[in-house]
Structure 1
Amino acid sequence: MIKFAGLLFPVLITALSFQTALAQDEKTALVPLPSVQDFSKGKDGWSFGLGLGIEYETAYEGSDEFGFELQPAGAVQWRSGDDVFFFAGEALGWRGLRSDTWLLEAAVAFDEGREESDSDDGHLDGLGDQDESVELVLQGRRAFAADWRNWLVGRVVTGGDGTLGLFGVGHRFGNQIDGTGSEVNLVAVFHDSEYANTGFGIDAAQAAASGLDETTLSGGLRSIGIDYNYRHYINENWQIYGEALFEYYSSEVRDSPIARSNYEAEVGVGFIYIF
């Protein structure tokens, strides 16, 4: 019996060490959230993912026209511990994990603006084209526990066209800790008067050119929204993702002649190859 115990002890130590190493290997993502791209697989240094997605979405904010659009997917990332620097689509930024329950992010993003041709039915005729702009995006998530099952989220987007703020709560489904699975966020969105009028306001010149009523918004509550994100590894290199968004506008936004629909919605799916 003593001899057996002497043999069993090192076996148990080896098994526990293997389980610990396995658990460490499995925790590949900076945070286990499907909405946060992380191709590092737990390793410091460069990582790269490239893919393509297709989205079915409203033609512009407030539109009642829908269409399909191809979108590039993926990112170039450099990770050092709990910090990731990234270039993804039209955004260049940093995100970092602090105290296991704080995820902070800052990015400079590019906004394409709006063109009259975005409406195939001519609903934007006379409103003119909006210039492209650069925006600063600041975001923070505060998890209730280190497993990132539930959290609070806040985001501020500001630039040449005003400021937008988002505040809400989120929940993650499943037990994966590699950034796969699914999550849902429920948010309230606010905008200042400049941001509101950029999207839904009509000045005197636009009213004369378009025939629409002159409209000025005061800012405040913009919408209540819900979004869903899904991510899954098909194999070591291929990843499939999906996303859905529904945003219901406030009464002030709905009263704008530009808002031909009471809501904005989009659904997307795509594939990413991780090098």
Structure 2
Amino acid sequence: MSSRSKRLGISLLTGLVLSGVAVTAMADDTLELSNSIYALSKPPEPQGGEWDFWRFAVGAGVVSMPTFPGARDTKVDGLPILSAGYGRWFIGANPDAGSLVSAGAYLYHDDHWRAGVAVTYDFLEPRQESDDPHLRGLGDVKRTTHAEAFGVFTYDWFEARSSVISDIGGNQRGTVVTLDAMGAWEATEQWSFSAGPGVTWGSSQYNRTFFGVDATQSARSGLAPYSLGSGVNEVRVTVGAAYRPTSHWVLGADITAAWLENDAGDSPIVQKKNQMSYGLIATYLFF
């Protein structure tokens, strides 16, 4: 493997494995934890056949997040990190797909753009009635399979990414569109920092599933009936840091402050509009 390809592998895998801090928001449909992982290291610079080598990663992380979207209380979950990629193909954790459980391919990549498609599955349970007494009578929000299209633009210290994620498992999860922008600063060869804003738009089905209360749910839970349509349901700001003591080890951490907006924020299910989430991860890279 050439030295340039090796550098590419380190950069790609660093972003790939740190995705474990963020993915619960996107594929698992809990609140946004972070997208800072997309800017914690220099973005990959794929050049034609230079992606034609194997990339592997293994690690673990821990996240603290709201018990459910809009919850007052928090929960802590462990995250296993397993990933593999060859050329344009990938499986397992991937930052651009934003999932711990994914399989997909890059359809286009150059010095500044990456675009691809993936099939993902929820690793974490989105919401269970047993999570909180406030949810009694609302039923569970089930895990599902998603189809996703994503695009990423990078230039120097700046990165922007967007994704469209749709439920194809028939579990009334609808469609989510995310947009995030990040600025990165490499303080040293080992330390990287990032920060930036993001926003999430949900389809009417998605918003009804997570924030709506139909007549049956109202009768069972005692919450007032509540109907809402499509629209922006969250804005957020994230800061993150990554430490690479060696070329193989990556340690990452981030904090996200999110605010439920518009009709989603006014839902009787929501106990607290402002939500805080935290993530820590350690990963070993093979290349």
TM-score range, shorter chain: 0.7 to 0.9
Alignment-derived partner of residue 200 in structure 1? 211
Alignment-derived partner of residue 9 in structure 1? none
Alignment-derived partner of residue 118 in structure 1? 131
The size of the alignment, in residue pairs, is 245
Q: Does the 8 A contact of 2:58 with 2:284 survive in 1?
A: yes
Amino acid at match of 1:247: A
Amino acid at match of 2:66: T
Q: Does the 8 A contact of 2:13 with 2:56 survive in 1?
A: no
Q: Deviations over 1:85-121 (max 9, x none)?
A: 23223222224662311121322111333211122xx
The answer as to 2:222 corresponding to 1:211 is: yes
Alignment-derived partner of residue 185 in structure 2? 173
Scaled by the length of structure 1, the TM-score of the pair is: 0.78
Q: Deviation at 1:177? A: 9.0
Q: Does the 8 A contact of 1:242 with 1:270 survive in 2?
A: yes
Equivalent of 2:90 in 85, 89, 94: 85
Q: Does the 8 A contact of 2:233 with 2:261 survive in 1?
A: yes
Write the distance in 2 (CA, Å) between the matches of 1:169 and 1:236: 26
Write the distance in 1 (CA, Å) between the matches of 2:240 and 2:73: 24
Q: Bigger CA drift: 21-30 or 233-242?
A: 21-30
Q: Does the 8 A contact of 1:90 with 1:109 survive in 2?
A: yes
Alignment-derived partner of residue 27 in structure 2? none
**Distance change (3 Å), C-alpha of 1:185 and 1:84:** farther
Partner of 1:123: helix, strand, or coil? helix
Q: Does the 8 A contact of 1:55 with 1:70 survive in 2?
A: yes
Higher Cα radius of gyration: 1
Equivalent of 1:153 in 158, 161, 168: 161
Report the identity percentage.
Answer: 23
Alignment-derived partner of residue 284 in structure 2? 273
Write the distance in 1 (CA, Å) between the matches of 2:274 and 2:106: 31
Unaligned runs of 5+ in 1: 1-20
Write the distance in 1 (CA, Å) between the matches of 2:6 and 2:127: 45
Unaligned runs of 5+ in 2: 19-36, 45-49, 94-99
Amino acid at match of 1:87: G
Scaled by the length of structure 2, the TM-score of the pair is: 0.75
Structure 1 residue runs of 4 or more that deviate by more than 6 Å after TM superposition: 21-24, 175-178
Amino acid at match of 1:126: G
Root-mean-square deviation (CA, aligned residues, Å) is 3.0
